[in-house]
Amino acid sequence: MIKSVFDTYETVKEKRLKDRFFKHNTIVDLVNQLPADFEIKELGQSVKGKSINLVKYGNGFTKIMLWSQMHGDEATGTMALFDLFNFLQSNHPLAQLISEKCQLFILPMVNPDGAEVFTRRNSQQIDINRDFLKEVSPEAKVLKQCRAAIKPDFGFNLHDQVTLWSVTGTLKPATLSFLAPAFDEELNINETRKNAMLVIADMFSDLDQLLPKHIGLFDDEFEPRAFGDNFQKAGTSTILIEAGGYTNDYEKQEIRKHYFIAILSGLFSIATKSYSQQDLKNYFVIPKNNKQIFHVLIHGIVLDGIEVSIGINYEECPSSNGCSTFKTYSIQDIGDLSFCDAYQNYSSPSLSLNGNITLYQPANFELLDGDKTILSFENGNLLFKKD
Ligand SMILES: [Zn+2]
């Protein structure tokens, strides 16, 4: 059933969202164009007066709340939600099933001010997902009140993670990561959390076929200020989805497709109650996230008379208009990195390097293969890369 949606994804993809930099006005336009069976309600406003909207859909018994982009620069979940809105308008039997069995409560951009400038935090410089207890941000208040009013059975907490997480045992980027967040320091499992784990086990079994070796379990740690942990504590079986990296997918369009399918797989599990037949051990066999990849890895370079590998990562900063990012590359490891992988690997006996390699300093060198430059950086900026 899920595979058929994957194969025809282009028919439901929301094509007006084509990179990570869409803003609140686009989201509002899209929400306002939804047909009448989607009920729209403004729940409140961001610090800068942008509406935070709730989209309600379906007439079923099981209440499911989904919210995205609490972190303004984490746009993948929002794109996937608009793909979901299109899918729900199709005549696919799964769309019918969801509308009969579930009531969806969807907040497709919790932090519009952050999205405007493409930053994680809101315009008060507050991380909304660390503001559950204090509620100093209006965005946190809206989200907290929304859950308290609806009391959903299930929650989907939709985020993006840094692209440097990999999957233990595979050396591949953790393109998607899942977690049933803990509700206490001891990481206990009660009925609420167990149901979230069982749904994730269903999601993993679907997604692992479509994206083998690229799915991990997010770090299991209790964060008393975070929403997922507190929603779990309040009795909503909460599922965290994190979008990570995928080779050459800087705008996360390939990732978004799998992310949408992951949400759909979770909704299918809940709508059919198939999770109740799952075995908890299938949650714990999902490989954990770790950090064994780099953005760029160069092997076999002689530095001061010793042969080493060099691991280089970039940090992304938003440009002033919030509509693009620039990357700053720095040296993050030197030595035996034979147990690691990267988005881009360079290893050839004819490699040589001109420039200065200093740990934690901006990349500032030229990499040659024979007498040809194949990669060059100046003060952390990528100047040239041979394709
Ligand atoms: Zn996040």
- Model confidence over 118-153: pLDDT tens digits? 999 999 999 999 999 999 999 999 999 999 999 999
Task: Find the 342 Cα to ligand 1 centroid distance in Å.
Answer: 23
Q: Is the pLDDT of residue 387 over 90?
A: no
Q: In residues, how long is the chain?
A: 387
Ligand 1 center from residue 240 Cα (angstroms): 10
CATH topology classification for 293-385: Urease, subunit C; domain 1 (2.30.40)
d(CA 269, CA 359): 47
> Could you tell me the pLDDT band of residue 13, with boundaries at 50, 70 and 90?
very high
> How many Å is the Cα radius of gyration of the chain?
22
| H helix or E strand, kind and range, residue 238 | strand 237-243
- Work out the number of other CB atoms within 10 angstroms of the CB of residue 383: 11
| Superfamily designation of domain 2-290 | Zn peptidases (3.40.630.10)
CATH 2.30.40.10 residue spans of the chain: 293-385
245 Cα to the center of ligand 1, angstroms: 14
H/E segment holding residue 269: helix 253-272
Model confidence at 276, pLDDT cuts 50, 70, 90, reads: very high
In this prediction, residues 192-210 reach a mean pLDDT of 97
Mean pLDDT of the chain: 97
Compute the distance between CA of residue 363 and CA of residue 318 in angstroms, rounded to an integer: 19
Q: Per-residue pLDDT for 237 more than 90? A: yes
C-beta separation of 107 from 143 below 8 A = yes
* Cα distances (angstroms) measured from residue 28 to each of 40, 81, 310: 10, 13, 45
Whole-number Å distance, alpha carbon 289 to ligand 1 midpoint, is: 16
86 has pLDDT over 90? yes
Task: Output the CA 161–ligand 1 centroid distance in Å.
Answer: 7
Please give the distance, rounded to the nearest whole angstrom, from the Cα atom of residue 71 to the centre of ligand 1. 5
pLDDT at 313: 98
- pLDDT attached to residue 73: 98
Domain with CATH 3.40.630.10 in the chain: 2-290
Confidence of residue 231 (pLDDT cuts 50, 70, 90): very high
The mean pLDDT of 156-168, rounded to a whole number, is 97
pLDDT of the residue at 95: 97
- Residue 384 has a pLDDT of 96
Q: What is the mean pLDDT of residues 74-90?
A: 98
pTM: 0.97
Please report the pLDDT score of residue 323 as a whole number. Answer: 97
User: Does an H or E element contain 116, and which?
Assistant: helix 112-117
Return the pLDDT at 1.
Answer: 80
From the CA of 74, how far away is ligand 1's center (Å)? 6
Ligand 1 centre and the CA of 359: distance in Å? 28
* Residue 336, pLDDT above cutoff 90: yes
Q: For 58-72, write each residue's pLDDT tens digit.
A: 999 999 999 999 999
> Which pair of tokens denotes residue 101?
């069995």
User: Ligand 1 centroid vs 126 CA: distance in angstroms?
Assistant: 13
Does position 182 have pLDDT exceeding 90, yes or no?
yes
